[in-house]
Chains A and B, each alone.
Chain A
Amino acid sequence: MQTSITNTPTRYGWAMIVLHWLIGIIFIGQFVLGYVMVRIESQRTSFELIQLHKSFGFLLLGLIILRIAWRLGNAAPALPASVGTLERRTAPLAHFALYAFQVALPLSGWALVSVSTLEIPTMPFNLFVMPNLPLTESDASESFWTSAHWYLAYAGIALVALHIAAALRHHFLLRDAVLTRIITPSSSGE
């Protein structure tokens, strides 16, 4: 049985599975990194962690663009018949919101470094210079985008927690395939 890259009506293909877990792990890692990097005592370590956070942020932005493009060309598999009406209506909204946060977080971070009066250049993984967004730098804009990035991060991680709780509920309480189908890819035999 060969695994399939694309989704099927009931299962996810491995491309979506890989993107899902890669983005999920980086997203949660970024939250932890972002929390630690501004609280750590060593200014040097703090500086270096912030640069790492920026690098992963741009990686995340690239991956999410790929994921949205893939999603647009690959309908998500239908929910199992056992899923109730309320969840059938709210789950797509939650998933849409998760996508929105995945886009908004890297973009708000990019805006933050673009308007910062520190004018620190951005070089994702020291590979190339990422230009700033065409925004005017000022202390006021920097503090606005710093707050925006933080609020989005807390709201985003809360939504991720809800997403994880829902997945665990499906697996352990409802005992359906909602969690396992994002782990085991669809196969060409289906």
Chain B
Amino acid sequence: MNARILGVAAFAACLAMPVYAAVALSDAAGSYTISPSGSSIRFTIGKAGGGGFDGAFGRFKGTIRIDNSDVGRSKVDLTIYPESVGTGQGRIDAFLRSDAVFDAANNPEIQFRSTSITRTGDTTAVVTGRLTARGKTFPEKFTAELGGLKSGTIKFHVTGKVLRSRYGMDVGTPLYSNVVDFDMTLTGRRG
């Protein structure tokens, strides 16, 4: 736990003082591969009348590259396999995979490619990028918060809202909200 707090502090410090903290920065800088263990991509969609339904993607891959000198030039790539969606209800999963929603057979990947990263605090940043799903691409924004940094492992908590109607997935509105709330934990391992 101490190491983790130190890690966060070190990363925060290096973000705040890139010129003076070259040694600390070298701790975080580098390329990371998102590791399925320690990572999760969950989402919630609100329902009319209250409540919502939760789901998660079981399979995804990606990389996080932290730039040595300029956080803004850091980069995140994430690929999600919609076939792996799970809600705990098999009939809903089948519906989500079908051409009613993801059309996973014809569109096996959902991709996010960051275009810019803007720091908003000691441990937070806004990640802007292009999200592609069902052949449609739109700019989206996610908030990333550094959750841990230690010995070759970096962890971010990422949240963001995506309007599903833009990607041809508006089925069920207004029974189900158009807004999909993402809540991800992305753990990257160096290398």
Partners in one complex: yes
- A residues in contact (CB < 8 Å) with B: 42-44, 47-48, 51, 117-121, 123, 126, 129, 131
Which residues from chain B sit less than 8 Å from chain A, CB to CB? 47-49, 51, 53, 89, 91-92, 94-95, 98-101, 171-172, 174-176
Cα distance A131–B50 in the bound complex, in angstroms: 11
Question: Which A residues are in CB contact (< 8 Å) with B47?
Answer: 119, 121
B contacts with A: majority SS: loop
> How distant is the Cα of A118 from the Cα of B95 in the complex, in angstroms?
11
Q: A44-B171, A121-B175, A126-B174 are in contact. Are A131 and B49 (CB under 8 A)?
A: yes
Which chain A residue has the least Cβ–Cβ distance from B92? A118
Q: Indicate if the CB atoms of B171 and A123 lie closer than 8 Å.
A: no
In the complex, which residues of chain A have a beta carbon less than 8 angstroms from the beta carbon of B171?
44, 47-48
Contact residues in A for B94 (Cβ distance below 8 Å): 43
Chain A residue nearest to B169 in the complex (CB):
A44
- By the criterion CB–CB under 8 Å, are A43 and B99 in contact? yes
A44 adjacent to B100 (CB under 8 Å): yes
| One of A51, A118, A121, A126 near B49 (C-beta < 8 A) | A121
B98 touches A118 (CB 8 A): no
Bound-state Cα–Cα, A145 to B9, Å: 59
Q: Which 7 A-B pairs have the closest CB atoms?
A: A44-B100, A129-B49, A43-B100, A43-B98, A121-B48, A121-B49, A121-B175
Q: How far is the CB of A119 from chain B (nearest CB, A)?
A: 7
Known: A118-B92, A121-B175, A123-B174. A44 touches B99 (CB 8 A): yes
For A43, what are the chain B residues with a Cβ–Cβ distance below 8 Å? 94-95, 98-100
**Residues of chain B within 8 A of A117, CB atoms compared:** 89
* Chain B nearest Cβ from A49, distance in angstroms: 12
- B175–A120 CB distance below 8 A: yes
Task: Report yes or no: A118 in contact with B174, Cβ–Cβ below 8 A.
Answer: no
Contacts of B95 in A (CB 8 A): 43, 47
A-B contact pairs, 11 of them (CB 8 A): A43-B98, A43-B99, A43-B100, A44-B101, A47-B171, A48-B171, A119-B47, A119-B53, A121-B48, A123-B175, A131-B49
Shortest distance between the CB of A128 and any CB in chain B (Å): 9
Q: Which residues of B contact A119 (CB under 8 A)?
A: 47, 51, 53
Please state if B89 and A118 are interface contacts (CB–CB under 8 Å): yes
Q: Given the complex of chains A and B, what is the CA–CA distance between A120 and B99 in angstroms?
A: 19
C-alpha spacing A7/B51, complex, angstroms: 48
Shortest A52–chain B CB gap in Å is 12
Interchain CA distance A151-B94 in the complex, whole Å: 27
Among residues of A, the one whose C-beta sits closest to the C-beta of B175 is A121
**A118 and B100 in contact, given A129-B49, A131-B49 (Cβ under 8 angstroms):** no
* B100 near A47: Cβ-Cβ < 8 Å: yes
Q: A42 to B100: give the CA distance in the assembly, Å.
A: 7
In the complex, A126→B175 CA distance in Å? 8
- Interchain CA distance A42-B101 in the complex, whole Å: 11
